[in-house]
């Protein structure tokens, strides 16, 4: 039997998080109670906390893996103790977005409360049973916590239509950029340049398999009406910085594509003349492919991603969440940090 209360990291306003004791949620019919094993820190969590967008009382964290601790009435086929992640909600299959193969932006899905989100920086969460996916044998709960960001990286790569002939630029060598780089390598793309200022992240990008690692100043001004000397065919903007997006657009080749993956609070300026003359495309990649999380789970289970390089070696407790977010925002930690839902102090 699960306990009555649990530790949770709660956003209390003014950019602050506090570990509180909350009641373990009741399991409704057709739901499962999941004991969280690990939950990754997402760039969106950093924005919500450090830039103070979150609503006080929110528990953040959506990149989790865990074990079923209880099932509600009417739940068939799921047993206590099963290691799981939760897929995205299914699209309706009929609306314009679904018909275009983009069910994760289905027009008929319910309103999402992005600011007051009830997430997994706590010990237990409830999940609608149809969303559960079993973690394959041989894939650890810890590695499975990368399923959601891996699904995002796969989606970004698929939306761009990247092929092994492409010359790719990734701006931002943090957790998101490293995952995009690793996914690109896993689908046979070898020419990937990463632009990143922080030395720890530059070194990690090299280890993950970047063919070149540069600093932002290496993406200098490009002459008007011409391409850069060595332009890229596809760019993934993973830093959330306006200057990086502007430089990435400038350094695209004719018919090149920029994919926005990292969110940010300053907006880039778009040189429409360059976009017109070079017939550039800019797209946003926010969510997941129509196949949901299953391909990401499969890719992680295949062992083709260097998980040890994509995750920081030391997991943290709930009480270390805020200082770790600050370190991530400063670029001190190259890769994904996983949170254990416990208090270490
Ligand atoms: Zn995320
Ligand atoms: Zn739909």
Rg over CA atoms, the chain: 20
The answer on pLDDT for 225 being more than 70 is yes
Q: How far apart are CA 207 and CA 218, in angstroms?
A: 20
User: Tens digit of pLDDT for each residue in 48-106?
Assistant: 999 999 999 999 999 999 999 999 999 999 999 999 999 987 889 899 999 988 888 88
Side by side, the strands of the sheet bearing 212-214 are 212-214, 192-195, 168-171, 232-237, 252-260, 281-284
User: Tens digit of pLDDT for each residue in 285-325?
Assistant: 988 988 889 999 999 999 999 999 999 999 999 999 999 99
The answer on pLDDT for 193 being more than 80 is yes
User: Tens digit of pLDDT for each residue in 167-186?
Assistant: 999 999 999 999 999 999 99
State the chain's mean pLDDT as an integer. 94
Residue 44: its pLDDT value, please?
87
Residue 115: its pLDDT value, please?
62
- Ligand whose nearest atom lies closest to the CA of 151: 1
Residue 250: closest CA among 223, 213, 214, 217: 223
What is the distance in A from the centroid of ligand 1 to the CA of 272?
A: 30
- Ligand whose nearest atom lies closest to the CA of 106: 2
What is the distance in A from the centroid of ligand 1 to the CA of 64?
A: 10
Residue 90: its pLDDT value, please?
81
What is the distance in A from the centroid of ligand 2 to the CA of 257?
A: 26
Residue 112: its pLDDT value, please?
66
Residue 36: closest CA among 11, 12, 60: 60
Residue 103: its pLDDT value, please?
87
What is the distance in A from the centroid of ligand 1 to the CA of 203?
A: 23
Q: Which residue has the tokens 């920081």?
A: 312
- Ligand whose nearest atom lies closest to the CA of 62: 1
What is the distance in A from the centroid of ligand 2 to the CA of 298?
A: 25
Q: Is 81 left (phi over 0), alpha (psi -120 to 50) or beta?
A: left
Residue 91: its pLDDT value, please?
86
What is the distance in A from the centroid of ligand 2 to the CA of 107?
A: 5
What is the distance in A from the centroid of ligand 2 to the CA of 260?
A: 23
Residue 104: its pLDDT value, please?
82
Tokens, residue 78: 């799921």
What is the DSSP code (8-state) at residue 277?
H
Tokens, residue 144: 């499975």
Q: How far apart are CA 237 and CA 166, in angstroms?
A: 16
Q: How far apart are CA 46 and CA 52, in angstroms?
A: 9
Q: How far are the Cα atoms of 125, 136, 156, 224, 252 from residue 294, in angstroms, in the given order?
A: 21, 10, 16, 44, 32
Which residues neighbour ligand 2 (ion) by CB within 5 Å? 91-92, 95, 98, 106, 108
**Contact by Cβ (8 Å): 84, 92:** no
Residue 174: its pLDDT value, please?
94
What is the distance in A from the centroid of ligand 2 to the CA of 75?
A: 25
What is the distance in A from the centroid of ligand 1 to the CA of 238?
A: 12
- Ligand whose nearest atom lies closest to the CA of 153: 1
What is the distance in A from the centroid of ligand 1 to the CA of 179?
A: 12
What is the distance in A from the centroid of ligand 1 to the CA of 221?
A: 32
Q: If pLDDT is split at 50, 70 and 90, which confidence band does 113 have?
A: low
∠ at Cα 21 (46, 68), nearest 5°? 80
What is the distance in A from the centroid of ligand 1 to the CA of 146?
A: 10
Q: If pLDDT is split at 50, 70 and 90, which confidence band does 331 have?
A: confident
* Mean pLDDT, residues 22-30 taken together: 95
- Ligand whose nearest atom lies closest to the CA of 102: 2
> Buried b / exposed e across 32-63, counting CB within 10 Å, b at 16+?
bbbbbbbbbbbbbbbbbbeeeebeeebbbbbb
Helix and strand counts by DSSP (H, E) for the chain: 11, 14
Residue 264: its pLDDT value, please?
87
CB atoms within 10 A of CB 14: 7
Q: How far apart are CA 17 and CA 148, in angstroms?
A: 23
What is the distance in A from the centroid of ligand 2 to the CA of 88?
A: 13
Q: How far apart are CA 259 and CA 252, in angstroms?
A: 11
The answer on pLDDT for 283 being more than 70 is yes
- Ligand whose nearest atom lies closest to the CA of 60: 1
What is the distance in A from the centroid of ligand 1 to the CA of 118?
A: 14
pTM, entire model: 0.94
User: Tens digit of pLDDT for each residue in 121-171?
Assistant: 999 999 999 999 999 999 999 999 999 999 999 999 999 999 999 999 999
């Amino acid at each position: 039997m699960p306990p009555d209360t649990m530790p949770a990291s709660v956003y209390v306003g003014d950019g602050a998080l506090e570990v509180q004791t909350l009641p373990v949620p009741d399991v409704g019919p057709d739901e499962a109670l999941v004991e969280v094993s690990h939950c990754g820190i997402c760039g969106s969590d950093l924005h919500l906390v450090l830039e103070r967008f979150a609503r006080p009382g929110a528990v953040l964290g959506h990149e989790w893996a865990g074990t079923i601790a209880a099932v509600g009435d009417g739940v068939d086929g799921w047993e206590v103790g099963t290691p799981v992640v939760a897929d995205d909600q299914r699209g309706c299959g009929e609306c314009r977005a679904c018909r275009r193969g983009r069910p994760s932006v289905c027009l008929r899905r319910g309103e999402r409360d992005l600011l007051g989100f009830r997430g997994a920086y706590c010990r237990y969460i409830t999940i609608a049973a149809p969303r559960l996916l079993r973690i394959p044998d041989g894939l650890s709960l810890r590695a499975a916590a990368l399923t959601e960001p891996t699904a995002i990286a796969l989606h970004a790569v698929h939306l761009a239509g990247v092929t092994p002939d492409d010359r790719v630029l990734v701006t931002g060598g943090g957790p998101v950029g490293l995952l995009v780089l690793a996914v690109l390598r896993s689908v046979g793309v070898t020419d990937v340049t990463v632009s990143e200022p922080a030395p720890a992240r530059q070194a990690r990008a090299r280890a993950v398999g970047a063919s070149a690692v540069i600093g932002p100043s290496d993406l200098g001004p490009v002459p008007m009406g011409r391409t850069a000397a060595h332009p890229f065919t596809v760019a993934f903007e993973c830093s959330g910085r306006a200057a990086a997006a502007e430089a990435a657009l400038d350094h695209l080749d004719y018919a090149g594509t920029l994919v926005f993956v990292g969110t940010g609070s300053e907006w880039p300026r778009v040189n429409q003349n360059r976009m017109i003359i070079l017939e550039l495309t800019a797209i946003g990649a926010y969510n997941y492919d129509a196949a949901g999380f299953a391909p990401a789970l499969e890719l992680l289970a295949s062992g083709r991603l260097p998980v040890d390089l994509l995750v920081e070696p030391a997991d943290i407790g709930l009480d270390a969440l805020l200082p770790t977010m600050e370190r991530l925002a400063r670029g001190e930690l190259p890769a994904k940090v996983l949170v254990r839902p416990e208090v270490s102090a």
